[in-house]
């Protein structure tokens, strides 16, 4: 199961993920990302991964894709940090200052 919570602030919209990022939940996250990009009005979109316990290959592929689309990924957990380190090499676009894979 994957829980996706949305936190709105003046500067950003944050999707907080909890649980397992595996099929079929990767499809749900893709839909949530598409919906979350609407109406940002200059705010950034951030996905918080610190409460994920499992990330499948499909999940890793999706995270690499959203990174390439400019969505920022953040994590405080050791597990997700390691996955993001690996994904950092897969992202086609260079990481911009302020894009933190390891927060």
Q: Give me the number of domains the chain comprises.
A: 1
Which range marks the domain in which residue 47 is found? 2-88
Residue 30 lies in a domain: yes
- 60 vs 6, 12, 22, 42, 89, CA distance in Å? 21, 23, 9, 27, 12
Residue 93 lies in a domain: no
Q: Which residues in 8-47 are b (16+ Cβ under 10 Å) and which e?
A: eeeeebbbbbbebbeeebbeebeebbeebeeeeeeeebbb
Residue 99 lies in a domain: no
Contact call for residues 53 and 80 (beta carbons, < 8 A): no
Residue-wise pLDDT tens digits, 30-80: 999 999 999 999 999 999 998 999 999 999 999 999 988 999 999 877 777
Residue 102 lies in a domain: no
What confidence category does residue 103 fall into, taking pLDDT thresholds of 50, 70 and 90? very low
CATH number at residue 11: 3.30.750.24
């Amino acid at each position: 199961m994957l829980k996706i919570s949305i936190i709105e602030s003046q500067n950003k919209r944050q999707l907080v993920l909890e649980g397992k990022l595996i099929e079929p939940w990767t499809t749900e996250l893709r839909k949530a990302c598409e919906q979350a990009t609407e109406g940002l009005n200059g705010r950034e979109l951030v996905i918080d991964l610190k409460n994920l316990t499992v990330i499948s290959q499909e999940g890793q592929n999706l995270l690499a894709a959203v990174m390439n689309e400019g969505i920022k990924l953040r994590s405080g957990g050791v597990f997700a940090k390691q996955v993001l380190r690996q994904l950092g090499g897969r992202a086609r676009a260079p990481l911009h200052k302020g894009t933190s894979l390891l927060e």
